Homo-oligomer: A and B are copies of this chain.
Amino acid sequence: MRLLLLLFFLSLFYSCETNEVEYAIVVHGGAGTILKKNMSDEMENAYIQKMEEAINAGYNILEKNGSSIDAVEATIKILENSELFNAGKGSVLSNAGIVEMDASIMRGDNLNAGAISGVTKIKNPISAARLVMEKSEHVFLSGKGAESFAKYENLEIVENEYFITQRRLNSLRNAKKRDSLTDNKFGTVGCVALDSDGNITSGTSTGGMTNKKWNRIGDVPIIGAGTYANNKTCGISSTGWGEYFIRNVVAYDISSQMEYNNSSIQSASKKTLKKVKDLGGSGGVVGLDSKGNITMDFNTEGMYRGYKKSNGDFKIKIYK
């Protein structure tokens, strides 16, 4: 009997060992008032399929021992190129009736980072953020300057019309009628990946808020708010009401709880999102730590989200 018990515990131990996560990827496509009752089966399927395609694009890179930077960029490009999400093509429109996009990326080994804001002609803002990180002496470029830099680095440039969709034109018309800033849906996309070298990369990309004015910058290009990565703690990508995420320094608040308070990534995320809610804000985060533990937390009705780990775990979800 005792031998059987011993064997049982040994097998448990063994299965834990083999379940160790070597690489992993987690993705969000925005949080907000996303309710099952307002979603057709067709739309739901479209979102799930695109999320799966994006996750797999990054995962396939990680599986071949590729870098988490390549994985995050590849995944986010697919979401930017899809009209479904508020990033790249399909971004919401500003008060001026154009698409103005922000993005950022950060790597957890050397804390290098790149960000851009207010760009209107760069097809894939996440690639521009990566170029700022890798090819410039700066972390954060904006507006026309960021576009000149992207052209100089031979990134693909498109006309602003490329990004504009009928759906977002309608949203802007409605927002202007109500004179409101937001429809409380935050379609920002983001991705965090851990590669087989143990390096974590986080990236986030967005069109910001419908009807935004005055070249408003949200949390997405703010290192520490929308995006943060540190191999010692975690990688985080945020989505939500940017102003509240800036004021709470959301991504870094999660990391610093892990660094200074020994919190798990899940309990840290919970505490930080509670702070956001207490101030009146809403949104969510995805992230992972160096062991591949995942957080996908939010205080809205729903968040497009999913992850895939080298131990076989794979999930895509939309609602609470």
Chain A residues close to B by CB (< 8 Å): 106, 110-113, 117-118, 136-146, 148-149, 181, 212-218, 222-225, 228, 242-243, 246-249, 252-253, 256-257, 259-261, 279
Contacts and interface: CB of A to CB of B under 8 A. Distances in A.
A243 B141 contact: no
Given A144-B215, A146-B214, A260-B256, A249 B249 contact: yes
Given A142-B117, A145-B214, A223-B225, A181 B137 contact: yes
A260 B222 CA distance: 22
A256 B254 CA distance: 10
A145 B223 contact: no
A112 B243 CA distance: 9
Contacts of A146: 214-215
Given A141-B217, A144-B215, A223-B249, 8 more contacts: A106-B247, A111-B279, A141-B214, A222-B223, A223-B246, A223-B247, A256-B260, A261-B261
Contact of A249 (B214, B216, B252): B252
A44 B246 CA distance: 38
B143 A215 contact: yes
5 contacts: A111-B248, A111-B279, A138-B216, A141-B216, A224-B224
Nearest to A132: B214
Nearest to A152: B214
A215 B279 contact: no
Contacts of A212: 138
A91 to B, nearest CB: 17
A149 B214 contact: yes
Contacts of A246: 113, 139-140, 223-224
A279 B222 CA distance: 19
